[in-house]
Structure 1
Amino acid sequence: MAFRIGTGIDYHQLAEGRKLFIGGVEIPHHKGALGHSDADVLLHAICDAMLGALALGDIGTHFPDTSAAFKDIDSKILLQQSYDKIKAKGYKVVNVDSTLCLEAPKIKPYIAQMQQTIAAILELEVDAVSVKATTTEKMGFVGREEGLVAHATVLLEK
């Protein structure tokens, strides 16, 4: 049995006047993430982790921010298309472990919904998707609420 592991990381600036999507869930907040797509930092990190596990490049290779086709696209579609690429290579996801870094808003009330959304797309049980969050204790751009970061690790099995 062949296993592959991948890691992904994504960063987005926060700005007034944008909606905030994390893990496929819209979260009420006065700021949202800036990006060509809906700027879902968590789903982007998971895409990169899956693609990286099979040395398929990164999310920008497959879904370039120079393409009008991906302007304001729902990142759940990007996650599905990334997963389709993994399945085409004969792999499935075993589990996802992820960490969000942001000062606000608090996302604990939304974690179960994020897990359900991600699990449904990746054909997993909910307990195979871990979503954790931390702050940077007011340090750096995350601490100043200028941006947010997501890290993801994905295990694939052939």
Structure 2
Amino acid sequence: MRIGIGYDVHQLVEGRKLILGGVEIEHEKGLLGHSDADVLVHSLMDAILGAMAEGDIGKHFPDTDQSYKDISSLILLGRVKDIMRSRGYRLVNADCVVAAQRPKLAPHIDKMRVNIAEVLETSPDNIGIKATTTEWLGFEGREEGISAQAVCLIEKMD
């Protein structure tokens, strides 16, 4: 078994959709990035890649490559799953936390878990997602950005 950790942050800006866990969430701002800037999925991809000592998402999906412009992070997660499978691993479980002052994410968490589980070909019971505010502290509290952290456990398949 191997463990990995991931972290990602993106700036909130006007004129972008807010996508977290593959769910479009109604909000006056969205996350700025080359892809859809889904910090939740990005942190999970980094955790999985890290567990295999495969670097990070920038190594695999560089923001200088136009083929990744505005791409769904769930598509990229599928490619990370393919790397994981090609190395002979499967996800045991993942646990993630998103830090955002607004909007409230609780109503969307079950759909996020289902989206991620479908891509990783696992049960939603193996995907934990929590949301927290920072009590108005830091860049998340000032609503300048959103961050996410993820940890995962992978194991060799028989």
Q: Indicate the residue corresponding to 1:145 in structure 2.
A: 143
Q: Would you identify which runs of 4 or more consecutive aligned residues in structure 1 move more than 4 Å? A: none
For residue 2 of structure 2, the aligned residue among 1, 4, 8 is 4
Q: In structure 1, what is the Cα distance between the partners aligned to 2:75 and 2:122?
A: 17
Q: Counterpart of 2:77 in structure 1: which amino acid?
A: L
Which consecutive unaligned segments of at least 5 residues does structure 2 have? none
Unaligned 5+ segments in structure 1 are none
Identity of aligned residues (%): 56
Distance 2:97 2:105 in 1: 11
- Please state how far the C-alpha of 1:126 moved relative to its aligned partner: 1.0
How many Å separate the matches in 1 of 2:28 and 2:107?
Answer: 17
Match of 2:12 among 10, 14, 20: 14
The residue that corresponds to 1:154 in the other structure is 152
CA-based RMSD of the aligned residues comes to: 0.5
TM-score by length of 1: 0.98
Q: Deviations over 1:73-103 (max 9, x none)?
A: 1101110001110000000000010000000
Matches within 5 A, 1:36-47: 36-47=34-45
2:25 is the counterpart of 1:27: yes
Paired residue total: 156
Q: Separation in 1 of the partners of 2:84 and 2:125? A: 21
Alignment of 1:1-158 (within 5 A): 3-158=1-156
Q: In the aligned structure 2, how far is the partner of 1:22 from the partner of 1:99?
A: 11
